[in-house]
């Protein structure tokens, strides 16, 4: 597992403008040689999308918790309580 952060479209664009006669493969090679692995098709996609920033999504566990919270609100009829309602079997708080 790499300790380096993933390459961003902004970083790839900086490399693109800094090298003569740039291409997706040359940019990917330059970044990979510097220790930041990225595939040339990723560079090409970012360039085609005008170097649009990458949208970061929720971690899968956080997304699952959020989905459960919404479902619990629908199932219990109390959208505010969410998962708190389902944590106690008999309805009383336990420590």
Residues 60-93 pLDDT 10s? 888 888 888 888 778 777 777 766 766 655 555 5
pTM, 2 dp: 0.57
Domain borders along the chain are 9-48, 57-95
Query: Residue by residue, what is the 3-state secondary structure of the chain?
Result: CCCCCCCCHHHHHHHHHHCCCCCHHHHHHHHHHCCCCCCHHHHHHHHHCCCCCCCCCCCHHHHHHHHHHHHHHHHHCCCCCHHHHHHCCCCCCCC
Residues 48-63 pLDDT 10s? 999 988 777 777 888 8
């Amino acid at each position: 597992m790499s300790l380096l952060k993933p390459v961003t479209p902004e970083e790839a664009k900086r490399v693109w403008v800094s090298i003569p006669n740039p291409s997706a493969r040359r940019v990917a090679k330059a970044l990979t040689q510097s220790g930041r692995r990225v595939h040339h098709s990723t560079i090409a996609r970012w360039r085609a999308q005008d170097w649009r920033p990458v949208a970061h999504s929720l971690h899968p566990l956080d997304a699952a918790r959020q989905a459960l919270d919404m479902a619990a609100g629908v199932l219990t009829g109390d959208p505010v309580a969410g998962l708190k309602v389902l944590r106690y079997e008999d309805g009383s708080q336990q420590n």
